[in-house]
Structure 1
Amino acid sequence: MSRKIIYLINPISGTRGKGSLKQMIARHTKAKGIPFEIMDTDIDAKYEAVRKKVTTEGFTDIVVCGGDGSVNQVVHALADTDVQFGIIPMGSGNGLAFAAGIPKSSEKALNIVFTGEARLTDAFMVNDQFACMLCGLGFDAQVAHQFAKQPKRGLATYASLTTRNFFSAVSYPFQIAANKLTFTTEAFFVSIANSNQFGNNFTIAPKAVLSDGLLDVVIVKKVAKPLLLLTVMRQVLAGKLRHIENSLRSPVIYFQTEELIISNIGNAPMHIDGEPRDTPTRLQIKVLPQYFKLIHAL
């Protein structure tokens, strides 16, 4: 297939300068003999100009140079054009990129764009909001809300906020209906994952697969002291997962489902793909199987 690539660069993602990135992209793409264009991401997430280029000028690939939030916006706007999506990770977490085997190095990630394999990849909806990889309620969402307000972004800022919030974490009440079962619980956080991780190679759902048509739900319940979360998370990281019916008494509830309903009784904060969102009191969540083509590492 003859390829033609649009690179969309988020000018404010991460901490690295973008001038050298543009030069590197241009140099390597020209060396491959692939026609290309470099554009900025759209702050309003409309992407009508990009859509027009795809439909009238025959562009086949859109490569997002940004974080999970940028990928979310671009895929949501343009998945119906049937292009292939690539990622050069430039955010603070980059969970979707890492789940697809894409490294942090921009040059190595660009090589994946050239040599990788485009695979049909799931997404999901949270009420009427689109998600590529992760929706969180509670602890991690609180961090996301604070992170969005920081004048200086990047991994160091995110790690500092995570540590600070960890020791003051509070639990929230939820009612959850999935797989013909309804239960209530108090939890530090609820994660609905298509990817197997939060980001930064921190695993949250070891059995999650980007293209299995299932969402992986991880609920870390209220425990006696926040420090016990470390013990709880070892179960998740070790992959010691149980069916929903057998894990209700466990500190971690883990299950897979195509859809679920969450009553957010305590108005826990929410994020989608690392970006803070308004907190709904009722979330209807449903997988979108094989929704877009993502270039994975071989």
Structure 2
Amino acid sequence: MRNILFFINPISGTRNKLQLEKKIVQKCEEHNIGFKILFTAADGNYSFLREQIKQDKVTDVVICGGDGTLSPVISSLLNVKVNIGIIPTGSGNGLAFTAKIPRSVDKALEIIFKGKTSCVDSFLINGKLSCMLCGIGLDAQVAYDFSLQKKRGLSTYIKQTFKNFLAATPYHFELKVRDTTFKVDAFFICIANSNQFGNNFTIAPEASLNDGLLDIIVVKKMSKLRIIWSVFKQMKTGKIITFEEKNFHKKNILYFQTGSLQIINPEMAPLHIDGDHAPTAKKFDIEILPSAFTLIRP
């Protein structure tokens, strides 16, 4: 018998959470599935969760929220035999969209009830879990400013992106990847396990959720007009390049894969983890966690 624990983030996205709660109750009762509904913890503390899963014999934890809602819950469940489901109600929903989980609550619930699962990688950045994507620089500043806005949703995110893009200046970074070390001036660096920022805005076209590799995208110093063109081209035709390629360092966007890396951040460029602002550091140690959790997906 399945017993599902639902976590609803009451402030993610723009949806009516009362209607979402009613829909969950209705559908679970129709399918004769045991369930319980909780609201997410504002402080991100889920230390109680392991004991509750054991006590209540929970088989699945379903997270109703965006990418930033997923990380703290999943982090508390590493090495726990429980399936993770997603009802995407956030502003970006990058992991859900990469996994082909639809925004429709009814369709997302049907996927959860069918119970098909596969393993998904995650990664650690200075010991903190990320399920989808981290950014250092411009996109992290956008995430921070977005978090301060009273109104959520895509239109607000676009406004904050445009505002920060006009004011953006590049940061100095040093990357250490296996036996290679190089310095670069860049507007931002993305460390991706999924293929997109969210809202089907693809930044790492060749990323896979379970290939044991991280996709690294470095948007180098260039004119603002060239950034627009280069990022658009990256979305459509971005291809993995290797350090051995002759013109690697001449490209406007560096796109490569690795299982681990270190980023030196002397100017303390801001950081986001799965779309949520996070404390930055002068050095980031990043490593993949293969098959970190089991995701219910189509």
Q: Which amino acid aligns with 2:295?
A: L
Contact kept, 8 Å, 1:51 with 1:81, in 2: the verdict is yes
User: Which residue does the alignment assign to 2:98?
Assistant: 99
For this pair of structures, how many residues does the alignment match?
Answer: 295
User: Which residue does the alignment assign to 1:286?
Assistant: 287
**Structure 1 residue 212, shift from structure 2 partner:** 0.6
Give the 3-state SS of the residue equivalent to 2:54 in structure 1: helix
User: Which residue does the alignment assign to 1:28?
Assistant: 27
**Structure 1 residue 54, shift from structure 2 partner:** 1.0
Q: Which amino acid aligns with 1:230?
A: I
Contact kept, 8 Å, 1:121 with 1:293, in 2: the verdict is yes
Give the 3-state SS of the residue equivalent to 2:289 in structure 1: strand
Separation (CA, whole Å) in 1 of partners of 2:93 and 2:158: 14
Deviation readout 1:194-216 (Å, 9 max, x if unpaired): 01101110001011101111000
Contact kept, 8 Å, 1:244 with 1:253, in 2: the verdict is no
User: Which residue does the alignment assign to 1:236?
Assistant: 234
Of residues 210-219 and 50-59 in structure 1, the stretch that sits farther from structure 2 once superposed is 50-59
User: Which residue does the alignment assign to 1:253?
Assistant: 254
Deviation readout 1:31-73 (Å, 9 max, x if unpaired): 1111111111112222244322210121100000011111111
**Structure 1 residue 3, shift from structure 2 partner:** 1.3
Contact kept, 8 Å, 2:205 with 2:239, in 1: the verdict is no
Deviation readout 1:256-282 (Å, 9 max, x if unpaired): 000000001221111000011111000
Separation (CA, whole Å) in 1 of partners of 2:170 and 2:48: 44
Separation (CA, whole Å) in 2 of partners of 1:46 and 1:279: 20
Give the 3-state SS of the residue equivalent to 2:167 in structure 1: coil
Q: Which amino acid aligns with 2:264?
A: S
Aligned 1:73-222 pairs, distance under 5 A: 73-222=72-221
**Structure 1 residue 90, shift from structure 2 partner:** 1.0
* 1:226 equivalent among 224, 227, 238: 224
**Structure 1 residue 116, shift from structure 2 partner:** 4.8
Contact kept, 8 Å, 1:186 with 1:221, in 2: the verdict is yes
Q: Percent identity?
A: 46
**Structure 1 residue 167, shift from structure 2 partner:** 2.0
Deviation readout 1:75-124 (Å, 9 max, x if unpaired): 00123322100000111111111111111112211111112521111111
Deviation readout 1:218-277 (Å, 9 max, x if unpaired): 001001x21211221133121333223322210011110000000012211110000111
Separation (CA, whole Å) in 2 of partners of 1:254 and 1:48: 37
Separation (CA, whole Å) in 2 of partners of 1:184 and 1:279: 19
Contact kept, 8 Å, 2:87 with 2:103, in 1: the verdict is yes
Q: Flag structure 2 segments of 5+ consecutive residues without an equivalent.
A: none
Of residues 245-254 and 270-279 in structure 1, the stretch that sits farther from structure 2 once superposed is 245-254
Contact kept, 8 Å, 1:45 with 1:77, in 2: the verdict is no
Runs (4+) off by over 3 Å? none
Q: Flag structure 1 segments of 5+ consecutive residues without an equivalent.
A: none
TM-score, structure 2 as length reference? 0.96
**Structure 1 residue 7, shift from structure 2 partner:** 0.6
Deviation readout 1:129-169 (Å, 9 max, x if unpaired): 11111110111001001111112222111111111222222
**Structure 1 residue 179, shift from structure 2 partner:** 2.9
Separation (CA, whole Å) in 2 of partners of 1:53 and 1:158: 36
Separation (CA, whole Å) in 1 of partners of 2:220 and 2:99: 29
TM-score, structure 1 as length reference? 0.96
Separation (CA, whole Å) in 1 of partners of 2:149 and 2:157: 9
Separation (CA, whole Å) in 2 of partners of 1:141 and 1:147: 10
Contact kept, 8 Å, 1:188 with 1:222, in 2: the verdict is yes
Separation (CA, whole Å) in 2 of partners of 1:235 and 1:22: 41
